[in-house]
Structure 1
Amino acid sequence: MVDIARWFLGSEAKEVYARKTEGLLKQKGIDTHDTLVAVVTFENGATACFETCWILPDSLPTLVDHYVEVIGTKGVTYTDMKDNSLQKFAAKAEYPRCFSWTTLNNKGVGFFYDSVYHFLECVMDRSIKPINDQEDGYANTEIIVAMLRSAEEKRPVKLPLSA
Protein backbone atom coordinates (compact mmCIF):
# COMPACT_ATOMS: atom_id res chain seq x y z
CA MET A 1 0.00 0.00 0.00
CA VAL A 2 3.02 2.26 0.44
CA ASP A 3 3.48 2.26 -3.33
CA ILE A 4 -0.14 3.27 -3.90
CA ALA A 5 0.17 6.13 -1.39
CA ARG A 6 3.32 7.48 -3.08
CA TRP A 7 1.67 7.23 -6.51
CA PHE A 8 -1.64 8.72 -5.39
CA LEU A 9 -0.06 11.59 -3.46
CA GLY A 10 2.70 12.27 -6.00
CA SER A 11 5.05 12.88 -3.10
CA GLU A 12 7.86 11.20 -1.19
CA ALA A 13 7.73 10.22 2.47
CA LYS A 14 9.78 12.34 4.85
CA GLU A 15 9.03 10.83 8.27
CA VAL A 16 7.65 7.60 9.70
CA TYR A 17 6.37 6.85 13.19
CA ALA A 18 5.29 3.29 13.94
CA ARG A 19 4.26 1.12 16.88
CA LYS A 20 3.96 -2.65 17.05
CA THR A 21 2.53 -5.34 19.27
CA GLU A 22 4.16 -8.71 19.82
CA GLY A 23 3.11 -11.83 21.63
CA LEU A 24 0.93 -14.43 19.97
CA LEU A 25 3.20 -15.21 17.02
CA LYS A 26 6.37 -15.19 19.15
CA GLN A 27 4.66 -17.68 21.51
CA LYS A 28 4.22 -19.93 18.46
CA GLY A 29 7.90 -19.59 17.55
CA ILE A 30 7.34 -17.12 14.69
CA ASP A 31 9.77 -14.23 15.04
CA THR A 32 7.62 -11.32 13.88
CA HIS A 33 5.21 -8.75 15.25
CA ASP A 34 1.48 -9.43 15.61
CA THR A 35 0.47 -5.94 14.46
CA LEU A 36 2.16 -2.78 13.26
CA VAL A 37 0.61 0.66 12.78
CA ALA A 38 2.52 3.47 11.06
CA VAL A 39 1.89 7.14 10.38
CA VAL A 40 3.84 8.43 7.38
CA THR A 41 4.24 12.15 6.69
CA PHE A 42 4.88 13.15 3.07
CA GLU A 43 6.80 16.11 1.69
CA ASN A 44 3.59 17.69 0.34
CA GLY A 45 2.06 17.75 3.85
CA ALA A 46 -0.17 14.70 3.41
CA THR A 47 -0.36 12.06 6.13
CA ALA A 48 -1.03 8.37 5.56
CA CYS A 49 -1.77 5.66 8.10
CA PHE A 50 -0.81 2.03 7.47
CA GLU A 51 -1.73 -1.01 9.49
CA THR A 52 -0.65 -4.63 9.20
CA CYS A 53 -1.94 -7.50 11.28
CA TRP A 54 -0.77 -11.11 11.12
CA ILE A 55 -3.20 -12.51 13.69
CA LEU A 56 -6.54 -12.32 11.90
CA PRO A 57 -9.17 -14.93 12.86
CA ASP A 58 -9.63 -18.06 10.76
CA SER A 59 -13.28 -17.09 10.30
CA LEU A 60 -12.30 -14.08 8.13
CA PRO A 61 -13.64 -14.86 4.64
CA THR A 62 -10.38 -13.83 2.93
CA LEU A 63 -6.69 -14.40 3.57
CA VAL A 64 -6.08 -10.68 4.22
CA ASP A 65 -7.98 -7.69 5.53
CA HIS A 66 -6.95 -5.26 2.82
CA TYR A 67 -8.48 -1.82 2.43
CA VAL A 68 -7.57 1.76 1.59
CA GLU A 69 -9.29 4.94 2.72
CA VAL A 70 -8.37 8.22 1.08
CA ILE A 71 -9.89 11.33 2.64
CA GLY A 72 -9.25 14.65 0.94
CA THR A 73 -10.66 18.14 0.84
CA LYS A 74 -12.91 17.37 -2.15
CA GLY A 75 -14.02 13.83 -1.51
CA VAL A 76 -13.30 10.39 -0.15
CA THR A 77 -12.66 6.93 -1.57
CA TYR A 78 -12.96 3.56 0.12
CA THR A 79 -11.37 0.44 -1.32
CA ASP A 80 -12.04 -2.95 0.25
CA MET A 81 -10.38 -5.96 -1.32
CA LYS A 82 -12.49 -8.44 0.69
CA ASP A 83 -15.36 -7.67 -1.65
CA ASN A 84 -13.36 -6.11 -4.53
CA SER A 85 -15.12 -2.80 -4.10
CA LEU A 86 -14.23 0.81 -4.75
CA GLN A 87 -16.51 3.60 -3.59
CA LYS A 88 -15.91 7.24 -4.48
CA PHE A 89 -17.83 10.12 -2.93
CA ALA A 90 -17.22 13.64 -4.23
CA ALA A 91 -19.71 15.76 -6.17
CA LYS A 92 -21.52 12.47 -6.84
CA ALA A 93 -21.29 8.90 -5.60
CA GLU A 94 -19.54 6.38 -7.85
CA TYR A 95 -19.03 2.63 -7.54
CA PRO A 96 -16.60 1.64 -10.31
CA ARG A 97 -15.90 -2.07 -10.75
CA CYS A 98 -12.18 -2.01 -11.38
CA PHE A 99 -10.63 -4.63 -9.11
CA SER A 100 -12.30 -7.79 -10.29
CA TRP A 101 -10.65 -10.32 -12.55
CA THR A 102 -12.97 -11.44 -15.27
CA THR A 103 -12.84 -12.64 -18.87
CA LEU A 104 -14.01 -10.62 -21.85
CA ASN A 105 -13.68 -12.02 -25.39
CA ASN A 106 -11.48 -14.85 -24.05
CA LYS A 107 -9.04 -12.35 -22.52
CA GLY A 108 -8.53 -11.60 -18.85
CA VAL A 109 -9.36 -8.04 -17.83
CA GLY A 110 -9.14 -6.11 -14.59
CA PHE A 111 -6.63 -4.62 -12.21
CA PHE A 112 -4.85 -7.83 -11.24
CA TYR A 113 -4.64 -9.22 -14.75
CA ASP A 114 -3.43 -5.92 -16.18
CA SER A 115 -0.63 -5.51 -13.63
CA VAL A 116 0.70 -9.04 -14.18
CA TYR A 117 0.36 -8.67 -17.96
CA HIS A 118 2.30 -5.37 -17.90
CA PHE A 119 5.08 -6.96 -15.86
CA LEU A 120 5.37 -9.86 -18.30
CA GLU A 121 5.38 -7.46 -21.26
CA CYS A 122 8.31 -5.59 -19.71
CA VAL A 123 10.22 -8.83 -19.09
CA MET A 124 9.69 -10.05 -22.66
CA ASP A 125 10.24 -6.69 -24.38
CA ARG A 126 12.96 -4.57 -22.77
CA SER A 127 11.91 -1.52 -24.83
CA ILE A 128 8.71 -1.19 -22.76
CA LYS A 129 9.28 1.08 -19.77
CA PRO A 130 7.77 -0.29 -16.55
CA ILE A 131 5.11 1.84 -14.89
CA ASN A 132 7.06 1.24 -11.66
CA ASP A 133 10.84 0.99 -11.77
CA GLN A 134 13.67 0.17 -9.38
CA GLU A 135 13.56 3.70 -7.93
CA ASP A 136 9.95 3.09 -6.87
CA GLY A 137 10.91 -0.27 -5.41
CA TYR A 138 13.77 1.30 -3.46
CA ALA A 139 11.61 4.15 -2.11
CA ASN A 140 8.87 1.73 -1.04
CA THR A 141 11.36 -0.59 0.64
CA GLU A 142 12.98 2.34 2.44
CA ILE A 143 9.61 3.38 3.90
CA ILE A 144 8.92 -0.16 5.10
CA VAL A 145 12.40 -0.40 6.68
CA ALA A 146 11.75 2.95 8.39
CA MET A 147 8.45 1.58 9.74
CA LEU A 148 10.20 -1.43 11.24
CA ARG A 149 13.03 0.70 12.65
CA SER A 150 10.60 3.21 14.15
CA ALA A 151 8.54 0.47 15.79
CA GLU A 152 11.67 -1.17 17.20
CA GLU A 153 13.26 2.07 18.44
CA LYS A 154 9.93 3.67 19.51
CA ARG A 155 10.76 6.97 17.84
CA PRO A 156 10.05 8.80 14.57
CA VAL A 157 12.46 8.02 11.72
CA LYS A 158 13.39 10.62 9.09
CA LEU A 159 13.68 9.76 5.40
CA PRO A 160 15.66 9.18 3.34
CA LEU A 161 17.48 6.72 5.58
CA SER A 162 20.80 7.31 3.82
CA ALA A 163 20.75 11.04 4.66
Structure 2
Amino acid sequence: MGVYKRLSDVPDRYRLHHHANAYEGRDVWDEFLTEHLFPRFDSDRFKEDARRAGRYWKEHMAERGRHHALATPADVETWMTDLLDRLKLKTAYNSYWVRVERFYHWLQWHTEHPHTHHPVLMAAADGGAAGKVWDEKMARRRGGSKR
Protein backbone atom coordinates (compact mmCIF):
# COMPACT_ATOMS: atom_id res chain seq x y z
CA MET A 1 0.00 0.00 0.00
CA GLY A 2 2.91 2.31 0.63
CA VAL A 3 4.23 4.15 3.61
CA TYR A 4 0.81 5.60 4.42
CA LYS A 5 -2.43 3.65 4.84
CA ARG A 6 -4.96 6.50 4.75
CA LEU A 7 -4.85 9.85 3.02
CA SER A 8 -5.27 11.57 6.38
CA ASP A 9 -1.93 9.99 7.43
CA VAL A 10 -0.07 11.54 4.48
CA PRO A 11 1.67 14.78 5.45
CA ASP A 12 0.52 17.62 3.24
CA ARG A 13 3.96 18.03 1.66
CA TYR A 14 3.75 14.46 0.26
CA ARG A 15 0.26 14.71 -1.20
CA LEU A 16 0.15 14.24 -4.93
CA HIS A 17 -1.66 17.47 -5.80
CA HIS A 18 1.58 19.37 -5.15
CA HIS A 19 3.02 17.79 -8.31
CA ALA A 20 0.33 18.94 -10.74
CA ASN A 21 2.68 21.27 -12.64
CA ALA A 22 5.20 18.49 -13.25
CA TYR A 23 2.50 16.29 -14.77
CA GLU A 24 0.68 18.90 -16.83
CA GLY A 25 0.42 17.79 -20.46
CA ARG A 26 2.11 14.48 -19.71
CA ASP A 27 0.40 11.20 -20.58
CA VAL A 28 1.76 9.01 -17.80
CA TRP A 29 -0.74 6.28 -18.63
CA ASP A 30 0.83 5.92 -22.06
CA GLU A 31 4.30 5.79 -20.46
CA PHE A 32 3.04 3.01 -18.18
CA LEU A 33 1.67 1.05 -21.14
CA THR A 34 4.76 1.51 -23.28
CA GLU A 35 7.37 0.90 -20.59
CA HIS A 36 5.66 -1.67 -18.40
CA LEU A 37 2.56 -3.43 -19.69
CA PHE A 38 2.96 -3.81 -23.42
CA PRO A 39 6.43 -5.37 -23.35
CA ARG A 40 4.98 -8.10 -21.12
CA PHE A 41 1.65 -8.65 -22.82
CA ASP A 42 1.66 -8.60 -26.59
CA SER A 43 -1.93 -9.49 -27.53
CA ASP A 44 -3.96 -6.93 -29.46
CA ARG A 45 -7.00 -7.60 -27.25
CA PHE A 46 -5.00 -6.93 -24.08
CA LYS A 47 -3.63 -3.69 -25.50
CA GLU A 48 -7.07 -2.46 -26.53
CA ASP A 49 -8.52 -3.29 -23.10
CA ALA A 50 -5.65 -1.47 -21.37
CA ARG A 51 -6.09 1.58 -23.59
CA ARG A 52 -9.84 1.62 -22.92
CA ALA A 53 -9.32 1.42 -19.15
CA GLY A 54 -6.85 4.28 -19.35
CA ARG A 55 -9.17 6.35 -21.50
CA TYR A 56 -12.01 5.97 -19.00
CA TRP A 57 -9.69 6.63 -16.04
CA LYS A 58 -8.25 9.77 -17.66
CA GLU A 59 -11.74 11.06 -18.55
CA HIS A 60 -12.89 10.53 -14.97
CA MET A 61 -9.87 12.32 -13.57
CA ALA A 62 -10.25 15.20 -16.01
CA GLU A 63 -13.85 15.61 -14.83
CA ARG A 64 -12.52 15.72 -11.27
CA GLY A 65 -10.01 18.42 -12.24
CA ARG A 66 -6.92 16.33 -11.59
CA HIS A 67 -4.23 14.61 -13.61
CA HIS A 68 -4.73 10.85 -13.95
CA ALA A 69 -1.49 10.14 -12.07
CA LEU A 70 -2.48 12.30 -9.09
CA ALA A 71 -5.65 10.67 -7.75
CA THR A 72 -7.03 10.71 -4.25
CA PRO A 73 -8.87 7.77 -2.71
CA ALA A 74 -12.10 9.75 -3.24
CA ASP A 75 -11.38 9.88 -6.99
CA VAL A 76 -11.00 6.11 -7.05
CA GLU A 77 -14.16 5.59 -5.03
CA THR A 78 -16.32 7.77 -7.29
CA TRP A 79 -14.92 5.99 -10.35
CA MET A 80 -15.65 2.57 -8.90
CA THR A 81 -19.13 3.65 -7.82
CA ASP A 82 -19.86 4.80 -11.36
CA LEU A 83 -18.46 1.59 -12.87
CA LEU A 84 -20.44 -0.64 -10.52
CA ASP A 85 -23.61 1.27 -11.40
CA ARG A 86 -23.05 0.31 -15.05
CA LEU A 87 -21.10 -2.94 -15.00
CA LYS A 88 -20.97 -6.27 -13.26
CA LEU A 89 -18.48 -6.53 -10.42
CA LYS A 90 -16.34 -9.03 -12.34
CA THR A 91 -16.13 -6.70 -15.34
CA ALA A 92 -15.25 -3.67 -13.20
CA TYR A 93 -12.49 -5.71 -11.58
CA ASN A 94 -11.11 -7.46 -14.69
CA SER A 95 -11.33 -4.60 -17.15
CA TYR A 96 -10.64 -1.54 -15.03
CA TRP A 97 -9.56 -2.01 -11.42
CA VAL A 98 -6.65 -4.33 -12.23
CA ARG A 99 -5.10 -1.86 -14.63
CA VAL A 100 -5.45 1.27 -12.51
CA GLU A 101 -4.20 -0.58 -9.42
CA ARG A 102 -1.17 -1.78 -11.42
CA PHE A 103 -0.61 1.75 -12.75
CA TYR A 104 -0.34 3.19 -9.25
CA HIS A 105 1.89 0.32 -8.15
CA TRP A 106 4.18 1.13 -11.09
CA LEU A 107 4.21 4.83 -10.11
CA GLN A 108 5.17 3.97 -6.53
CA TRP A 109 8.20 1.97 -7.56
CA HIS A 110 9.73 4.49 -9.95
CA THR A 111 11.91 7.15 -8.39
CA GLU A 112 10.97 9.71 -11.03
CA HIS A 113 7.43 9.71 -9.62
CA PRO A 114 6.66 11.19 -6.17
CA HIS A 115 4.14 8.52 -5.15
CA THR A 116 4.60 7.63 -1.48
CA HIS A 117 1.07 6.28 -1.22
CA HIS A 118 -1.34 4.22 -3.32
CA PRO A 119 -4.76 5.93 -3.63
CA VAL A 120 -6.38 2.83 -5.18
CA LEU A 121 -5.50 0.64 -2.20
CA MET A 122 -6.42 3.42 0.21
CA ALA A 123 -9.87 3.60 -1.39
CA ALA A 124 -10.26 -0.17 -1.01
CA ALA A 125 -9.29 0.03 2.66
CA ASP A 126 -12.04 2.61 3.18
CA GLY A 127 -14.70 0.16 1.93
CA GLY A 128 -17.50 1.35 -0.33
CA ALA A 129 -17.47 0.46 -4.01
CA ALA A 130 -13.68 0.16 -4.06
CA GLY A 131 -13.91 -2.19 -1.10
CA LYS A 132 -16.36 -4.39 -3.00
CA VAL A 133 -13.94 -4.64 -5.89
CA TRP A 134 -11.12 -5.44 -3.45
CA ASP A 135 -13.27 -8.21 -1.96
CA GLU A 136 -13.65 -9.62 -5.48
CA LYS A 137 -9.88 -9.62 -5.86
CA MET A 138 -9.37 -11.38 -2.54
CA ALA A 139 -12.06 -13.96 -3.34
CA ARG A 140 -10.23 -14.80 -6.56
CA ARG A 141 -7.00 -15.30 -4.65
CA ARG A 142 -8.78 -17.71 -2.33
CA GLY A 143 -9.92 -19.72 -5.30
CA GLY A 144 -13.26 -18.38 -6.43
CA SER A 145 -15.28 -15.29 -7.10
CA LYS A 146 -17.54 -14.13 -4.27
CA ARG A 147 -20.25 -13.00 -6.65
Asked if Structure 1 and Structure 2 have the same fold, meaning a TM-score greater than 0.5 normalized by the shorter chain, the answer is: no
* Greater C-alpha radius of gyration: 1
TM tier, smaller: under 0.3
**Structure with the higher helix share, 1 or 2:** 2
